[in-house]
Amino acid sequence: MPQSTQSTPTIAVRFAQFELRPAQRLLLVGGEPVDIGSRAFDLLLAFIERPGELLRKAELMERVWPRVVVEENNLQVQVSTLRRVLGSRAIVTIPGHGYRFTLPLSADDGSSAGAGATVAPPSAVAPGGLALLGGRRSVVLLKLGFANAVTPSTPIADEDWHEFLGAFEGCAKEVLARHGGLLTECDMLGVTALFGLPAAGENDLTQAVEAGLEMITGVRARRWAGLPPGLALRGGLAHASVIAAPGAAPGTWRLSGSLSVTALALCDAAQAHELLVSQETRRQIVPYFDTAPHAPVEHSVLPHALEAHGVLGRSGIVTRIEAARWRGFTPLVGRAEELRVLTMAFNDMLAGKGRAISLVAEAGVGKSRLVAEFGRRLPPEQARVLHARCQPQLQMSAYAPFVDLLRTLLQLKNPAPEWLEADLSQSLQAIDPALKGWTPVVRKLLSAGPMASDAADGLNADVSRRQLSEAVVALISAAARIEPLVLVLDDWHWSDQASDDVLKMLVAMGAHLRVLLIVTARPQAQLAWPTSAHCEQLLLRPLAPAQSADMVRGIFGAQSIATSIASAIHERTEGNPFFIEEICRALLDQGTLTLSDGLLHSKRTIEGIALPHSIEALIRALLDQLPEAAQDLAKLASVLGRDFSRDDLEALSVHAGASGELLARLVDAALIEPTQLVPGPRYRFRHALVQF
C-alpha cells in the first residue's frame, strides 16, 4: 500500500466536543485534559492524519508499535479505549481489513478562515469546478425537554441545575454512545441528539427510540444521582431524508428541511415521561415498539396539525425477520433449489453426518427469510433449532453470538452471577457429566456477557482465549449427542474475531457432530468457507423479473398485475426481495397502487417514487462503511450514469492515481460490478437505488 504523504498536524484539531493538540500531546474536552494513554494517543494521531480513510491493521500496528512484534488484540485494546472516550461511532470497523475515523475535523490555525473553520477534504471539488453530489441521508433527531412533574410552578434553583447538568451530560453521552447517537446540545432546555451522523447505521431509527426511552425512564426511576426533586423528561423524535453538512461549531451539523421543528413541536406537546413520534415515524418503528394514539399536535412552528403517537416501550420484536413474521410472511419465491439443498443437509445430519452451510447474499436478498421458511418446514420433534445473531454494535464484543446461544441452550432465565455460581455446574452435568470440568470456563464466559475483545485476551492465566472457544464447542457437541441441533448464526458479517475462532473450530468438527450449522453473511464479510465434503456455500441471487412479479402478486393478494407495474418495480429494486416488499408497502400507503377485482392498478407513475426510510437507511449504512475517498468516487461515478468507464471517471476525479484501489473497494462492497476490461475497464452500479 502506498505510504501516506500526510504528516502529523501541528495545529489544534477539533472534532465533536474534543480538541487535539498534537505538539503538546493533549486531548481536551471542555478545556480539560483527557488521559487516554500514549498508545491510544499515537493511534488517534494516525486516524487524524487520514480522516475517513481505511487504515489497515498492519499499518496501524507499525505506527503505534514501530519495529515491535505485538499481537493484534493489543490494537483492539487501544481502539476500544478511543471508542469509550470518543463514542462508539467515532471509529468504524471494516471487517477483515481495519478501521476508519468518521468524525468531521476542524482546524484552529489562526488563518483568515477563523478558528474552527471546517476543513474540506481535498476531494470536495473535482477539476473544472464540478462539485460532487451532496450527501442526502436519513437522519433522526431526538429532542428531550425537562419538565417538573410534581410541582410545575416551583422553579429549580440555578445551583441545582448547574450541578445536575454537569452530571447528566455525561450520562446522556454514555447512553447515546451505546446507541450510536451524537449529543449536540445539553442545557437547561433539554437534550438534542442526532442519529445517522457522521456515519449511518442500519438501525438508527430504532436505536434513537431506545435511547430516548432509556433516558426518560432513567430519570423517572431516579437512576442518576443529583436529580432535582420532581424533574422529569419528555421527548419528541423525528426522522427525514435531509442534506447534512458540518456546522461552524465543532460537533454541530446543518440540516435541511423541517426535521428540527418537527421534533421540537412533538417534544413540547409531550407530557412528563412521554416520547412522541409522528405518524410517519410510527409506521417505521412498529412492530418493534408498542405505541398509543395521541391528540394531534398543533404548534406555531408547524404549518398544520401533526398526527402523533406516544411510544410505550419495546414490543419484544427485534429483527426484520421477526417483524416480517408479525406482519405475515409474503410468499417465498425463487428459492426452491436452496430449500432442497438445506433439506438434504438436514437429512444427512439426522443420519449422523454433520453439515455446515453458508448462505451468502447482499443485504435484503432473503437469507433470513429462506432460513425462516426452512425452519418452518422442519418437524419440531426431530431437532432443536437455536438462533444467534451478530450485531454491528457488538463487533468489538468477544463471543457475543455464542453467549446468547449458550444461554438459550442452557435455558438460563436468570443469568445473574449468584445463579451461575449455584446452578451452572448442575445444568452442565445434566447435559453430560464430562462437562463438569468446563464449569469455571463457561461461568467466566456467561457471567461476563458479551465482553470486550481485549478482555477475552486479558483473562486470568488459567482461562485462555482458546479454552473459551473450546468450552463453547464442547458444550454444543455434548448437547448434540442428546438431540440433533440446527444452529443458525445470522449476520456473520458483523462477527467478532473471537467468535470467528469458535466458528472455525465448530466447522472443523462439524462432520462428526449431529449438528446442521447455517451461517448467513453478506459478500463483504469474505467468509472463508472450507472446501470439506460436509461444507457447502449457497450464493443467493436477486429475483428474476417473473419471480419479482410473483412476489408483488403475493404481497397484494392480486390475481394479475399489469406488465408495466411489474417491470417498473423490478427495475427499481433489481429483484431484491426486501426492496420489493418495502417499496410495495410505500406504494400502498401512498395510495399509488390499488387492488380491484383481483387486478392491481396504478393511479400514477411509480418510476420516481421516493425511497422508503428502511431502504435509504440500509444503503446509507453500507456507503458509510467505505473510506471517504471511495464515497466521493462513487458520487462522481453516479454523475456519469448507471454504467461508466474508468477512463471517464479518472478524467473528472482528483483520485485518478488511486482510482483502481478505490473502485476495487466499491466492488468488494457490492455497490458496483465490473462489466468490461477491453478496450478499457467499465463498471455498473449493481442497483439503481445506490446511485446518489
Neighbour-count burial of 667, counting CB atoms closer than 10 A to its CB (0-12 exposed, 13-18 middle, 19+ buried): middle
pLDDT for 686: 75
Calculate ∠ Cα 341-344-347, nearest 5°.
150
How much is the pTM? 0.70
> What are the tens digits of pLDDT across the range 402-432?
988 988 888 776 555 555 656 777 788 888 8
- Res. 115: pLDDT tops 50: no
- Grouping H, G, I as helix, E, B as strand and the rest as coil, residue 261 is helix
The answer to whether 632 and 123 have CB atoms below 8 angstroms apart is yes
CA-nearest of 567, 562, 570, 691 to 635 is 691
The single residue listed with the C-alpha cell 476508519 is: 100
pLDDT band for 619, please (50, 70, 90 cuts).
confident
- CA quadruple 562, 567, 572, 577: dihedral sign: positive
- Res. 55: pLDDT tops 60: yes
> What are the tens digits of pLDDT across the range 214-265?
999 999 988 877 777 778 899 999 998 888 877 766 667 888 788 889 999 9
Mean pLDDT lowest among 165-174, 388-397, 516-525: 388-397
pLDDT band for 132, please (50, 70, 90 cuts).
very low
pLDDT for 378: 93
Q: SS3 for 74-88, per residue?
A: HHHHHHHHHHHHHCC
What gap in Å lies between CA 109 and CA 269, rounded to an integer?
Answer: 44
- Res. 358: pLDDT tops 90: yes
What gap in Å lies between CA 453 and CA 77, rounded to an integer?
Answer: 7
Mean pLDDT lowest among 178-182, 299-303, 370-374: 299-303
- Grouping H, G, I as helix, E, B as strand and the rest as coil, residue 636 is helix
- CA distance readout (Å), 247 to 104, 220, 337: 10, 33, 52
What region, left, alpha or beta, does residue 577 occupy, with left being phi > 0 and alpha being psi -120 to 50 degrees?
alpha
**What is the β-pairing status of strands 593-596 and 599-602?**
antiparallel
pLDDT for 478: 93
Q: State the cell numbers at 43.
A: 493511534
Mean pLDDT lowest among 85-89, 333-337, 497-501: 85-89
The answer to whether 73 and 398 have CB atoms below 8 angstroms apart is no
pLDDT for 692: 47
Q: What is the mean pLDDT of residues 198-204?
A: 84
- Res. 203: pLDDT tops 70: yes
pLDDT for 129: 25
Calculate ∠ Cα 323-283-273, nearest 5°.
100
Q: Give 652-659's long-range contacts (Cβ < 8 A, gap of 24+).
A: 652/126, 652/127, 652/128, 652/130, 653/123, 653/126, 654/122, 654/123, 654/126, 654/127, 655/123, 655/629, 658/2, 658/629, 659/633
pLDDT band for 58, please (50, 70, 90 cuts).
confident
pLDDT for 117: 29
**What is the β-pairing status of strands 125-126 and 130-131?**
antiparallel
pLDDT band for 10, please (50, 70, 90 cuts).
low
412 alpha-carbon distance from chain centroid: 27
Strand partners, 146: 233
pLDDT for 243: 81
The most confident of the ranges 269-283, 607-621, 658-672 is 269-283
> What are the tens digits of pLDDT across the range 244-256?
877 766 667 888 7
